[in-house]
């Protein structure tokens, strides 16, 4: 009832940061010890499919792989 459908998209202003918005949004936050503590997924973090559902799914798989690789070390 609040949104009635939304989607993400890149604007010209969002491309002026040097890095693409999805790269900035998908960077994990790290603790003071250097460990990644907060990971981000969702359609807005996907480099190609940033406005559709399968972009959200693929970014979830990306972050799941990141978690798996963190625990392999």
Cβ(36)–Cβ(66) below 8 Å: yes
Q: Is the pLDDT of residue 17 over 80?
A: no
Q: Which tokens sit at 40? A: 């981000």
Q: Is the pLDDT of residue 23 over 90?
A: no
Cβ(62)–Cβ(23) below 8 Å: no
Tell me, what's the pLDDT at 7?
67
Tell me, what's the pLDDT at 8?
66
pTM: 0.74
Average pLDDT for 46-69: 90
> What's the burial of 43, exposed, middle or buried (CB within 10 Å: 0-12/13-18/19+)?
buried
User: What span, in angstroms and rounded, lies between the C-alpha atoms of 15 and 35?
Assistant: 28
Q: Is the pLDDT of residue 3 over 80?
A: no
């Amino acid at each position: 009832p609040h949104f009635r459908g939304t989607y993400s998209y890149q604007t010209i202003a969002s491309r002026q940061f040097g890095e693409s918005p999805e790269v900035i949004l998908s960077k994990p936050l790290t603790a003071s010890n250097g460990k990644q503590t907060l990971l981000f997924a969702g359609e807005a973090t996907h480099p190609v499919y940033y406005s559709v559902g399968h972009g959200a799914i693929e970014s979830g798989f990306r972050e799941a792989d990141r978690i798996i690789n963190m625990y392999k070390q």
